[in-house]
Structure 1
Amino acid sequence: MKLFIKKKWRYFLLVIPIIIIIIAVYSNDYYRAMPEAKIMLQSNDKVKYIDSPWIEYTSKNKIVTKGLIIYPGGKVEPQAYAPLAEKIAESGFKVVIVPMPLKLAILSPNKAEKVIEKYSEIKQWYIAGHSLGGVMAAQFAYKNQDEINGLILLASYPQKSNNLSSSVVKVLSMYGTRDGFVGKDKIDESKKLLPKSTKWIPIKGGNHSQNAWYGFQKGDNKATITRDEQQNIIGKSIVEFIYEN
């Protein structure tokens, strides 16, 4: 028995360092925010910036009653969504980008709960997600339909288990026509899982990588519009969607 325990303990001591190494390597393998995004991590005359525990922007000199929570794409640094968040906040909203464990929203899909709990002054909440972040944002919206007023999907769609087709949650779905990961076929397939009132916006010439500021994602298609152009379409569409709903 003692021999068995010793062998088991030795095995444990060997495995733990390997696990630590794997986690260290994996956690360093992600898409980093571009300089254009990092320069936006500050307050200005239109918005107030806070960097902890989330990345958030709040419109200044306005009574803010609507908030947007953003779930980043898989393995994408949350700061990559800063320019989009800042631009949306300027229109009179609070926008919160939620960092995820190992930069994977699937590891903490309910993080939006704490944001909603903290800001009781916000009367209407919207949640957005890019790619994997969108899948988890859709899951959160599905499970919290009494708290979420609108869902915004960026190159994403809900899982079959999170069927929102009969939901009162308003939905906006945007995708680039040059997206190398989420093509029109996947978007069309997702229509049966979303309300008939869903607003669909194909971004002509847009790709997957330009949904944020993190460079080019391997496996994506080259966009035929600039990142600025794609971001402007996304930002304007989100602001209009929140105002309308």
Structure 2
Amino acid sequence: MTTVPDEGLAGTGAGGRRRPRARFTVVLGILWLVVPLVLFLLDHSVLLAGNPAQVIALAASGLIGVVLLVRDRSAPNPRPRKARPVLRALGRVAGVLVTVVVLGALVWLRPFGATPEAVAAMSGSADVRVMDAPAHIVIAPTSGTPTRGLIFQPGARVDPRAYVPMLSEVSRQGVIVFVVKQPFGIGFLATTAPHAFIDRHPEVTSWTIAGHSLGGVVAAGFAHDHPGVVRGLVLWASYPVDSLADRTDLTVASVSGTSDGFTTPADIAASRPLLPGDTAYTAVAGAVHSYFGDYGDQPGDGTPTVSRAEAQPQIVAATVALLDGL
């Protein structure tokens, strides 16, 4: 009697066991599907409030997982062929490397979410209105037409909303503020963002660019590459990479914390030769890196010896002083 092979065992070996290749594809598919899904569920409120690039990347990664799983389920049982162990091994190594790099990057890029108080500040107030857009946040006085503008680059992986409380205080002094929503929360992916604000607001006659931490590096880079475009530069717990020492057309303020665990006092001192000689330095005694935004504590930061409520008005005052001096 002739036995007809069971089609339901496609993709299995003897005894109904799944082929190693099929098991490998399933594991990869599950990882590509589950990791982005978990990340989105954990951080969905922050991700949806930021630049859409990260949500799109998570969705694309999840789609890859679905494709891998569907492809495994629908793949017919292949005809016997000569084994190619070297090619199969190389393919698996490449698949593992890509999976580790991409999914590992998505895990590392998890943002530091704004505090509830910072999120509440997005509603604005009687004298400051806050407007939310996919690629930026606008903070503007409710009265008058500001002629001074501040473009702010957030720190790496920090929720842009975390800076709204302090920058609202700056805006109350008659300044329109633009907070950049950087793709994946990385300033180097938004180096050209200031152009859009400058081009769309001809009523602003005096522009200042500012940034926190990595965002300050990007802000300083923009000032370096575009002489005459911005008149002021404010560095919050940051310093430039390229020298601005000979820039007589640029007014600079450096605001730092003496207990900062990332941008240390030694870093600020070492960067002095890169800044103009008349740079205004403000060292907030006892302040740490995370005090320059409202996103809670940051692992690896220093130990503060002053409260956030005491430190932040000093940061705001130093920023307003530069703007008033332009």
TM-score surpassing 0.5?
yes
Give, as a single letter, the amino acid of the residue that structure 2 aligns with 1:74: A
Question: For the structure 1 residues 14 and 222, does the alpha-carbon distance in structure 2 shift closer, same or farther, using more than 3 Å as the test?
Answer: closer
Question: Deviation at 1:225?
Answer: 1.3
Q: Which has the larger radius of gyration?
A: 2
SS at match of 1:242: helix
Question: Deviation at 1:18?
Answer: 5.6
SS at match of 2:252: strand
Cα distance in 1 for partners of 2:115, 2:159 equals 10
Aligned residue for 1:144? 226
Aligned residue for 1:166? 246
Cα distance in 2 for partners of 1:27, 1:149 equals 33
Aligned residue for 2:185? 103
RMSD: 2.0
Report whether the alignment pairs 1:38 with 2:119.
Answer: yes
CA displacement, residues 177-197 of structure 1 (integer Å, 9 cap, x when unaligned): 111111221111111000011
User: Of the candidates 219, 224, 227, which is equivalent to residue 308 of structure 2?
Assistant: 227
- Per residue, is there more helix in 1 or in 2? 2
Q: How many residues align?
A: 238
Cα distance in 2 for partners of 1:22, 1:45 equals 44
Cα distance in 1 for partners of 2:262, 2:98 equals 35
Report whether the alignment pairs 1:201 with 2:282.
Answer: yes
Cα distance in 1 for partners of 2:260, 2:172 equals 28
User: Of the candidates 238, 242, 257, which is equivalent to residue 176 of structure 1?
Assistant: 257
Aligned residue for 1:239? 320
SS at match of 1:39: helix
Question: Deviation at 1:215?
Answer: 0.8
Report whether the alignment pairs 1:66 with 2:157.
Answer: no
Contact kept? 1:179, 1:208, Cα under 8 Å: yes
Q: Highest relative contact order (Cα 8 Å, sep 6+), 1 or 2?
A: 1
Give the TM-score, by structure 1 length. Answer: 0.90
Contact kept? 1:45, 1:60, Cα under 8 Å: yes
Cα distance in 2 for partners of 1:221, 1:25 equals 24
Question: Deviation at 1:137?
Answer: 0.5
Give, as a single letter, the amino acid of the residue that structure 2 aligns with 1:94: I
Unaligned runs of 5+ in 1: none
Stretches of 4+ aligned residues off by more than 4 angstroms = 10-20
Segment of structure 1 superposing worse, 102-111 or 195-204:
102-111
Q: Percent identity?
A: 32
User: Of the candidates 260, 266, 270, which is equivalent to residue 185 of structure 1?
Assistant: 266
Cα distance in 2 for partners of 1:56, 1:228 equals 24
Cα distance in 1 for partners of 2:304, 2:96 equals 46
Question: Deviation at 1:13?
Answer: 7.4
Aligned residue for 2:211? 129
Unaligned runs of 5+ in 2: 1-83
Give the TM-score, by structure 2 length. Answer: 0.68
Give, as a single letter, the amino acid of the residue that structure 2 aligns with 1:82: V
Segment of structure 1 superposing worse, 63-72 or 42-51:
42-51
Contact kept? 1:85, 1:96, Cα under 8 Å: no
Question: Deviation at 1:25?
Answer: 2.4
Question: For the structure 1 residues 18 and 182, does the alpha-carbon distance in structure 2 shift closer, same or farther, using more than 3 Å as the test?
Answer: closer
Cα distance in 1 for partners of 2:147, 2:118 equals 26
